[in-house]
Amino acid sequence: MKISHIEHIGIAVKSLEAAIPYYENILGLKCYNVEEVADQKVKTAFFQVGQTKIELLESTDPEGAVAKFIDKKGEGVHHIAYAVADGVNSALSEVAAKGVQLIDRQGRKGAEGLTIGFLHPKSTQSVLTELCEK
Ligand code: CMX
């Protein structure tokens, strides 16, 4: 697998409305997109920082992955997403063959039209890891 860059850093927040002003008014970033990803039970807000984005994640469902994460660990960094140059499906097969536990066996649709696939934190040094491609 060839990773080209960190595509985004996902940050779990209780409320986008409460969190966005910090990124805009203190860090001077601009929220350029707010999008609901029904499949992932989240509403997302994006900020561009060089080649990488910050993705704020607010849960839309108390049983969703982000709501459960906040219940257990509180707000904060939720996952790191790497852009793979040679396709998510082949990257997922490659790491599975090396014994990594997958959350997604195949790429699925994520925010901003990306194809995404998650690796389980039990296999990734406790950091929830996402692979994605445009
Ligand atoms: N980072 C690191 N570890 C995490 C984690 C995270 N984000 N979320 C859960 N874990 C850990 C838990 O602490 C737990 O560890 P322990 O067993 O040591 O306590 C372990 O993973 C299993 O957690 P769990 O609570 O039993 O299982 P969950 O039902 O919460 O599922 C996970 C965890 C990662 C499989 C699930 O959150 C998932 O499938 N995530 C991928 C999808 C996702 O996160 N979508 C939201 C973002 C979508 C987007 O970016 O668009």
pTM of the model: 0.97
The CB density around residue 133, as the number of other CB atoms within 10 Å, is: 19
- Name the residue type at position 19: A
Domain that holds residue 77: 3-133
The count of domains in the chain is: 1
- Mean pLDDT for all residues in the chain: 97
CATH at residue 18 = 3.10.180.10
Q: Which atom of ligand 1 is nearest to the CA of 110?
A: 51
Residue corresponding to tokens 């852009």? 83
pLDDT 10s digits, 61-116: 999 999 999 999 999 999 999 999 989 999 999 999 999 999 999 999 999 999 99
Pocket of ligand 1 (CB under 6 A): 10, 37, 40, 42, 44, 55, 57, 65-66, 68-69, 72, 78-79, 103, 110-111, 118, 120-121, 126, 128
Per-residue pLDDT averaged across 25-52, rounded?
97
The closest alpha carbon to 43, from 71, 8, 69, 12, belongs to 12
